[in-house]
Amino acid sequence: MAHRIFPQEEYILKGHAACPGCGATLLLRYVLKALGPSTYIVIPACCTSVIAGPHPRSAFRVPVLHIAFAASAAAASGMVEALEKLGKPANVVVWAGDGGTVDIGLQALSGAAERGHNIIYICYDNEAYMNTGIQKSGSTPYKAWTTTTPTGNPSFKKDVPSIMAAHRVPYVATINPAYPNDIIYKLRKASSIRGGLKYIHAFSPCPPGWRYDPSLTVKIARLAVETGVWVLYEVENGKFSLTGLSRNLLKKENRKPVAEYLKLQGRFAHLKQEEIDEIQRLVDEQWRRIEEIVAEHGARAKSV
């Protein structure tokens, strides 16, 4: 299959301003390899506004529109319509952080999804507002330390992929930088689906924000999947399927204990044993729901 030939071209150049071990930059590198040079990116306020490098140069080899925090999905809507009207088809990609997606940008994202613009919207989820110094976002996990939740986040992570699936967009998927082939495969698929917004939610480890050594990014990313904290899946035209390693994790005994994932990160260092147990219970509960969804989708597929 074509996606197995890993693209050699680089679209992120030397001299970008990301921290060492930045998961977001790894992800974007693979995303651009998958999509190629005929791609416009729209970036709201977030770490990537800085990673791109200072004006008047850019560390990205594709055209980039930097835009106000809440505006990315709307800017992409206008851009994709204009390109269509001007007869210049190309990929239009939003690349936004979790804050710019699940919080301030959600209204514009919802509008763009409902209107069905041909956009690939990617949220790189580093689970806090990193650009402004690690404050809680609507995507911060339960109990995680941030500078505005110094004793641990009391609320639960907002499930935006489900919200997007409820918009009946043609494609929703999750990705993780430990699985580059999966990223290439899913992004190529998203790009091949014309008409409608494609929503991709990316696991994006962040060494300074999550307080771990930069050498551990890929290890933590892989552990997130292996412990079942992060689930790899796609929802294609409403049909849910687990993908990659996550396909084998329905049975609890196949999943590693979440403690293995938590213990590597300073943001969870304050957790007591009962809190770790509680997080384990929440992850198990999540997988119980996935089991129901998978069973229901299987039954639906059979009845067709």
Ligand X SMILES: Cc1ncc(C[n+]2csc(CCOP(=O)(O)OP(=O)(O)O)c2C)c(N)n1
Question: Which residues make up the interface to another protein (CB under 8 A)?
Answer: 37-40, 42, 49-50, 52-56, 58, 60-68, 70-86, 88, 90, 107-108, 110-111, 114-115
Nearer to ligand SF4, 12 or 47 (CB): 47
179: phi then psi, degrees, rounded to nearest 5? -130, 70
- Tally DSSP H helices, then E strands, for the chain: 10, 8
- b (16+ CB within 10 A) / e for 266-300: ebbeebeeeebeebbebbeeebeebeeebeeeeee
CA distance 6 to 8: 6
Strand 239-242 to 233-236 pairing? antiparallel
Q: Does 46 bind ligand X (CB under 6 A)?
A: yes
The binder of ligand SF4 chosen from 7, 53, 111, 208 (CB under 6 A):
208
Smallest distance, Å, CB 44 to ligand X? Answer: 7
Tell which positions 119-148 bind ligand X, by CB under 6 A: 126, 129-132, 137
Q: What is the CA radius of gyration of the chain?
A: 19
Given ligand SF4, another protein, ligand X, none, residue 22, with its beta carbon under 5 to 8 Å by kind, binds ligand SF4
Q: Which residue is nearest to ligand X (CB)?
A: 97
Smallest distance, Å, CB 123 to ligand X? Answer: 8
Given another protein, ligand X, ligand SF4, none, residue 61, with its beta carbon under 5 to 8 Å by kind, binds another protein
Q: Does 24 bind ligand SF4 (CB under 6 A)?
A: yes
- Residue 67, classed as helix, strand or coil, is coil
- Residue 49, classed as helix, strand or coil, is helix
The binder of ligand X chosen from 35, 39, 94, 99 (CB under 6 A):
99
CA distance 103 to 212: 25
Residue ranges in contact with ligand X by CB under 6 A: 45-47, 69, 97-100, 126, 129-132, 137
